[in-house]
């Protein structure tokens, strides 16, 4: 992801979140607050009965909307939290630029895609809430 692609990715956040609200009207009552996180996690666990998600097509689009909604929750409720684009090392070598959350007071970036992967692997229903509780002041 280049800086230009990251800027375009940021510009698509609001339309993506509006689409998610159409798909999940129960989020309209919570807004992008911590109360949305268990709703998002429950919906993801119902949609994907295993950690295997097709990166293309509808699964990839829903996954992307979920990623943005989790990020928006941090940004809207933790002062100074924001998306940044950083290089992350790949297991196969090299690095790629990915969007992560920079949260004041956290010693590392929050890679939301890793939270989603963990949520789908653990299937406990409380991964997103627990992670947010660690980051929130």
Q: For position 50, what pLDDT does the model report?
A: 82
Q: For position 55, what pLDDT does the model report?
A: 61
The structural domains of the chain, with segments of one domain joined by +, span 3-135
SS3 state of residue 124: coil
The Cα–Cα gap between 136 and 24 comes to: 25
Q: For position 60, what pLDDT does the model report?
A: 85
Q: For position 95, what pLDDT does the model report?
A: 77
The closest of 87, 20, 85, 15 to 47, measured between CA atoms, is: 20
Mean pLDDT by 10 residues, the chain (137 residues): 86 95 92 96 91 74 94 97 89 83 94 94 96 92
Tokens of 65: 């909307």
The CB-based long-range contact list for 2-8 (8 Å cut-off, 24+ gap) reads 2/97, 3/85, 6/85, 6/97, 6/99
Q: For position 90, what pLDDT does the model report?
A: 76
Per the CB < 8 A criterion, the answer to whether 123 and 45 are in contact is: yes
């Amino acid at each position: 992801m280049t800086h230009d692609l990251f800027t375009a990715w940021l510009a698509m956040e609001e339309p993506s979140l509006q689409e998610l609200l159409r798909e999940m009207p129960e989020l309209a009552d919570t807004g992008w607050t911590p109360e949305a996180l268990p709703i998002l996690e429950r919906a993801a666990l119902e949609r994907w009965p295993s950690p295997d998600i097709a990166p293309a097509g509808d699964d990839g689009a829903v996954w992307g909307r979920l990623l943005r909604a989790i990020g928006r929750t941090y940004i809207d409720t933790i002062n100074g939290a924001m998306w940044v684009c950083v290089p992350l090392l790949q297991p196969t070598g090299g690095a790629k630029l990915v969007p992560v959350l920079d949260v004041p007071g956290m010693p590392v970036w929050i890679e939301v895609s890793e939270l989603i992967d963990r949520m789908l692997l653990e299937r406990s229903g409380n991964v997103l809430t627990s992670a947010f509780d660690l980051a929130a002041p």
